[in-house]
Amino acid sequence: MSDWPYIGVMKLALHWQILIGMAAGVAFGLLAANLGWDGFISDWIKPFGTIFINMLKLIAIPLIIASLITGVANLGDLSDLSSMGGRTVGLYLISTVLAVTIGLITVNVVAPGKLISEQTREEIVTAYSSEADSRVEKAMMQKESGPLQALIDVVPSNIVSAASSNRNMLQVIFFVMFFGVGLLLIDKEKAAPVKAFFDGLNDVILKLVDLIMLAAPVGVFALLASLVVESPSADLFYALLGYAGCVVLGLGLMVFVVYPLVIKSLTGMGYGQFFNGIGPAQLLAFSTSSSAATLPLTMERVTEHMGVKEEVTSFVLPIGATINMDGTSLYQAIAAVFIAQAFGMELSLGTQLGIVVTATLASIGSAAVPGAGMLMLVIILAQAGIPEAGIALIFAVDRPLDMCRTVVNVTGDATVATIVAKSLGKLGAPRPKNWDDNYAEVA
């Protein structure tokens, strides 16, 4: 089968193919925008991006089910489950609080909101107020429910209906973990065929990821071309450059300094090995703005290229994609303070510490889909007494920042998975740098 026609083209490493697809998408989008081909892009190009994302989302729930059951069942007993669970959740919390803190320091030092003139602010608020209203409304509905609503929401009353929407991943995770615990507690002989079935299912789904990724260069081309055509006017971009720069600076610190340093010092894995491993997942996160859609590739890269044993990735990463959003929490903290600055408010230390808590919780509650972080931002604003309509100020640049924060979300999950694996003696050697890729296996 190695003489499949595409195999010659696919020799180029995956991340290069994705990068070329992205660059070509942006170039084509700019050209199309100039030539007025907006209709052509939305009718004939965008659908391929949508199909690509749909394919990835299509396997998200089956992947979580198969991988988590396999992960829990492979743990051996309940004490292993609680020690891995404890480390995972603990590290996720620490990394989120660290991210929020870095965000708050950056935005206080740079103070981008103070650069906005009264006039610009009014213009933007008027331009986007109707969109802002609908976000505020949705977020308020979430906020008005009782204090334990979040807990209730984790426990589904019907697994089929929970698994029918990608937004209910936490409910599916709950059921699957519960199922896994049952599997650990029954007679080993009876558990064996159930385990074997989910093991096989897991392999099938990982193979599907390989197949879907063959289309990644085309998928990201289509996604970026349509994104460029749909972008709002340049004026607003300039007005918000300081704010966006701040978010990008904070996110950049996390990706290029914090994670690699932590990984190096705790596991010994080098900078090159780290990025060689997680790079393609970062590019996909950037193109899709969705940690959930990126999850299959994140799992594959962390397992096959960073040396983390499958029993760790299959447990730590699906949970991380759902609850660990370092990039989102960092962005939410910066956005909240930026809006306050733009409205001329001074936030006290107490209020900012409150933002650390609410941003941590809001990022846990944010779904791993495009734009979710902005929805939850409303709750942080309300809690800190900042006018909610202020999110209108940041609409224009939200999508590019969503792309960047999703990269951080995914990288944070991979970092924690690697550290958890190291602490449990389940970190093998990473693949050599030039080892690429899945295509040989697919063919």
Q: Which residues bind ligand ASP (CB under 6 A)?
A: 289-291, 325, 328, 366, 368-373, 402, 405-406, 409
Positive/negative CA dihedral, 146, 147, 153, 155: negative
User: Using CA atoms, how far apart are residues 6 and 96, in angstroms rounded to an integer?
Assistant: 42
- Find the shortest distance in angstroms from Cβ 363 to ligand ASP: 7
How many CB atoms neighbour CB 257 within 10 A? Answer: 11
- Find the shortest distance in angstroms from Cβ 167 to ligand ASP: 12
Residue 219 or 307 with smaller CB distance to ligand ASP: 219
- Find the shortest distance in angstroms from Cβ 226 to ligand ASP: 17
- Find the shortest distance in angstroms from Cβ 368 to ligand ASP: 4
Residues 6+ apart with CB under 8 A from 208: 59, 296
Q: What residues are paired with 427 via a beta bridge?
A: 308
Residue 226 or 289 with smaller CB distance to ligand ASP: 289
- Find the shortest distance in angstroms from Cβ 376 to ligand ASP: 8
- Find the shortest distance in angstroms from Cβ 224 to ligand ASP: 16
Residue 289 or 383 with smaller CB distance to ligand ASP: 289
Residue 269 or 367 with smaller CB distance to ligand ASP: 367
Residue 171 or 409 with smaller CB distance to ligand ASP: 409
Q: What are the angstrom distances between the C-alpha of 322 and each of 117, 120, 266, 302, 304?
A: 38, 36, 24, 17, 22
User: Using CA atoms, how far apart are residues 418 and 413, in angstroms rounded to an integer?
Assistant: 9
Report yes or no: 113 and 243 within 8 Å, Cβ to Cβ: yes
User: Using CA atoms, how far apart are residues 81 and 71, in angstroms rounded to an integer?
Assistant: 9
- Find the shortest distance in angstroms from Cβ 374 to ligand ASP: 6
Q: What are the angstrom distances between the C-alpha of 399 and each of 199, 227, 338, 371?
A: 37, 9, 17, 7
User: Using CA atoms, how far apart are residues 361 and 365, in angstroms rounded to an integer?
Assistant: 6
Residue 252 or 371 with smaller CB distance to ligand ASP: 371
- Find the shortest distance in angstroms from Cβ 429 to ligand ASP: 29
Residue 184 or 248 with smaller CB distance to ligand ASP: 248
Residue-wise DSSP of 17-79: HHHHHHHHHHHHHHHHHHHT-HHHIIIIIHHHHHHHHHHHHHTHHHHHHHHHHHHHHHT-SHH
Residue nearest to ligand ASP (CB): 373
Instruction: Extract the runs of DSSP E, i.e. beta strands, from 54-197.
Output: none
Residue 167 or 207 with smaller CB distance to ligand ASP: 167
- Report which of 137, 116, 152 is spatially closest to residue 382, judged by C-alpha positions: 137
Residue 116 or 364 with smaller CB distance to ligand ASP: 364
User: Using CA atoms, how far apart are residues 232 and 228, in angstroms rounded to an integer?
Assistant: 9
- Find the shortest distance in angstroms from Cβ 330 to ligand ASP: 10
